[in-house]
Amino acid sequence: MEKLVAQNIQDGKPYEITIKDNEIQSIVITESEEIPEFYFGPGFFDIQVNGYAGHDYNLVQDYFLNLGQISKKLSKKGITRHLPTVITNSKKQLGKLFHQLTLLLESNHIYQKCIPAFHLEGPFISPEDGPRGAHFKEFVCAPNWDWFQYWQDIAGGRIKLITLSPEWEGSNSFIEKCVESGVKVSIGHTSANQQQIEGAVKAGASLSTHLGNGAHGILPRHPNYIWSQLAEEKLCASIIADGFHLPKEVIKVLQKVKGDQLFLVSDSVALAGMKPGDYETPVGGKVSLTKEGKLHLKDKPGMLAGSAMNLLQGFNFLLKNNLASIQEAWKMASQRPEKYIFTETEPWYADKKKEFIILKKSKDSQFDHYKTFISGKETFPNTIQSINYEQ
């Protein structure tokens, strides 16, 4: 039996949490005067995860259950839910990648809790160098509804978010069909002009994917697609706050413009969560991961090779740089992305069976993960099979 006092991130009050056999027994408000070192609140929700801890959603696996390690490792960092993100590839290969994700979800209820939907980033993005980022040029193409239906069928209707560029002809009718079928559309990896962005928003696009990245190195001062997206009040925006993808003053400006429509994504690749060192990757070749968490091409330290962060690190980055209060940063990592994907957020702590996380504040005002609960039970304590999660 363990008892701890933790501050509720939402009402700021101290609560006594009792845990027994990896399960929550009670959460009750207390009169305690001490300032708790623990905080509890809704689990973090990352809508853009390409891979983590050496496992990659963009590679067809010999054994698909290995991909379950991503949910497990992320839950140990407070990320209770995430959207596996599959990027530009051939029609057939994308089908295989969604198929293995579907098998993973069908293998155990815990994965259905951790993975509420999928994110398709591409292949209907800009073919131009710069905006295209590291996506394979040969597979980039105009929006194709039949193809999307093919992947959506394989995915069992779980693709809830697609990132595309509205610079293609036919983009707007494609966006309308997506939105009509319950799929959110995000603008990203784009070199669209003002008119195209305006048209996409009218058609129902509602997010900018990792705004400020996946762009040309040099842009006309105006107009350009960053201003255009900033100006669209109906567009939320996701950002990668790892200290390498965006300078902190840019994050500050994005916050001022987007307000509570701004939230965090990790956009993590398979090497995120790994030890610093040199690695060989199937797509990027030789890369280095520094102890600060920067992932770059081995011979070109200025060229990023993807993001190696998780949302807890993004949360800590915001706090360390005074870019947000604890409450604000917590929302940017949890309720805002949840509300974006599902329209409404779930009530979480009133029902002790809901998911939540406990973080521990360290001396330098950074936070470490302490425990994660889903359905009132600690996630992945030993073996997942031993826990019977609610359906």
Residues 6+ apart with CB under 8 A from 325: none
> Minimum Å distance from CB 125 to Zn ion?
8
- Looking at the Cβ atoms of 36 and 214, the one nearer to Zn ion is 214
Residues 6+ apart with CB under 8 A from 248: 321, 323
Shortest approach of Zn ion to residue 304 CB, angstroms?
11
Q: Residue 233 Cβ, how far from Zn ion at the closest point, in Å?
A: 23
The distance of closest approach from Cβ of residue 198 to Zn ion in the complex, given in angstroms and rounded to an integer, is: 22
Minimum gap (Å) between residue 386 Cβ and Zn ion = 37
Instruction: Return phi, psi of residue 43, to 5°.
Output: -60, 155
Q: How far apart are CA 293 and CA 241, in angstroms?
A: 12
Q: Which is nearer to Zn ion, 47 or 110 (CB)?
A: 47
Closest CA to 347 of 329, 335, 357, 330: 335
Angle between helices 326-333 and 311-320 (to 10 degrees): 150
Percent of residues in the chain assigned helix, strand, coil, to nearest 5: 30, 25, 45
Q: Least distance to Zn ion from the beta carbon of 133, Å?
A: 5
Nearer to Zn ion, 190 or 316 (CB): 190
* Residue found under tokens 């010999």: 62
CB of 189 to Zn ion, least distance (A): 6
> Are the C-beta atoms of residues 96 and 57 closer than 8 Å to each other?
no
The two three-digit tokens of residue 117, written as one number: 């939907």
CB of 188 to Zn ion, least distance (A): 6
Cα(210)–Cα(342) distance, integer angstroms: 19
Nearer to Zn ion, 103 or 141 (CB): 141
The HSE-up count of residue 380 (CA atoms within 13 Å, CB side) is 19
# chain residues binding Zn ion, by CB under 5 A: 1
Query: Toward Zn ion, which CB reaches closer, 143 or 214?
Result: 214
Q: Between 264 and 374, whose beta carbon lies closer to Zn ion?
A: 264
Min. distance of Cβ 85 from Zn ion in angstroms? 8
- Determine the 3-state secondary structure of 155 from DSSP: coil
* Residue (65 or 303) nearer to Zn ion, CB: 303
Q: Which is nearer to Zn ion, 268 or 334 (CB)?
A: 268
Binding marks (x or -) toward Zn ion, 196..215, rule CB under 5 A? ------------------x-
- Residue-by-residue DSSP string for 257-320: HHGGGEEEE--B-TTTTSPSEEEEETTTEEEEE-TTS-EEETTEEEEE-SB---HHHHHHHHHH
**Could you tell me the two tokens for 148?**
């999307």
- Give the separation between CA 113 and CA 129, rounded to whole angstroms: 37
Q: Of 42 and 337, which has the nearer Cβ to Zn ion?
A: 337
* Closer residue to Zn ion (CB): 123 or 214: 214
Q: Is 21 exposed, middle or buried (0-12, 13-18, 19+ CB in 10 A)?
A: exposed
Residue whose Cβ sits closest to Zn ion:
214
- Binding mask 62-91 vs Zn ion (x if CB under 5 A, - otherwise)? ------------------------------
Q: Tokens at residue 6, please?
A: 């933790």
Q: How many residues does the chain have?
A: 391
**Least CB distance from residue 140 to Zn ion, whole Å?**
13
Site string for Zn ion, 212-231 (x = CB under 5 A): --x-----------------
Residues that bind Zn ion (CB under 5 A): 214
